Amino acid sequence: VNADSLVSCRISDADIAKVQQYYRGHSGDPFKWMPFNTTPDQWEESGVQPVKYDPYTQSNGRDGDEAVLEFVTDQWEEALTPCVDAVAALDKDDNAYVEKLMQPYVLNEGRGSLFDGTYLAMQLLHWYKFMGSPLVKGLLVAAEG
């Protein structure tokens, strides 16, 4: 992927881990978070339980996940500021915006990557060979030879 075609936000592993420790969701109930006005030290001491912040519901006129978004924004604001500034600069400069849009998404026209189709074609070819398909008997000899 061509990094020049994107505006990338760099958030440190430590900052990501800080937010992840509050998440308590799982596949059956994915929207549970520890209360954001508490700290990890308080959770075991006082028996604090996770709270559900469902993005698909509203209560008191607020989106269900608004508290999560506020918490994450507060935690990552410093790391996200350069990224937001870069987007704002592109928004103000039409030439820079067009230049960013015109950058190729993949380098070298995708050759040698998952984007050039070779990987998929070779995997299909191997699958047909594995299944004993008569469609690829002659083709496989040429491809492997």
pTM of the complete model: 0.59
According to the model, what pLDDT value does residue 60 have?
Answer: 56
Is pLDDT at 142 greater than 60 in this prediction?
no
For residues 143 and 127, the model is more confident at 127
Give the C-alpha distances (Å, rounded to integers) separating 132 from 66, 120, 122, 137, 145.
Answer: 55, 18, 15, 8, 18
CB 27 within 8 A of CB 40: no
- Residue 88, SS3 per DSSP: helix
According to the model, what pLDDT value does residue 97 have?
Answer: 93
Beta strands in 13-143 (DSSP E): 32-33, 51-52, 58-59, 62-63
Highest mean pLDDT among 4-8, 65-69, 71-75, 128-132: 71-75
Q: How many CB atoms lie within 10 A of CB 79?
A: 14
Q: Which of 10-14, 18-22, 33-37, 58-62 has the lowest mean pLDDT?
A: 58-62
Q: In whole angstroms, give the CA distance from residue 44 to residue 70.
A: 24
pLDDT (average), residues 53-80: 81
Q: What are phi and psi of 106, to 5 degrees?
A: -115, 150
pLDDT (average), residues 83-112: 88
Give the C-alpha distances (Å, rounded to integers) separating 136 from 17, 45, 75, 118.
Answer: 49, 65, 55, 16
According to the model, what pLDDT value does residue 145 have?
Answer: 38
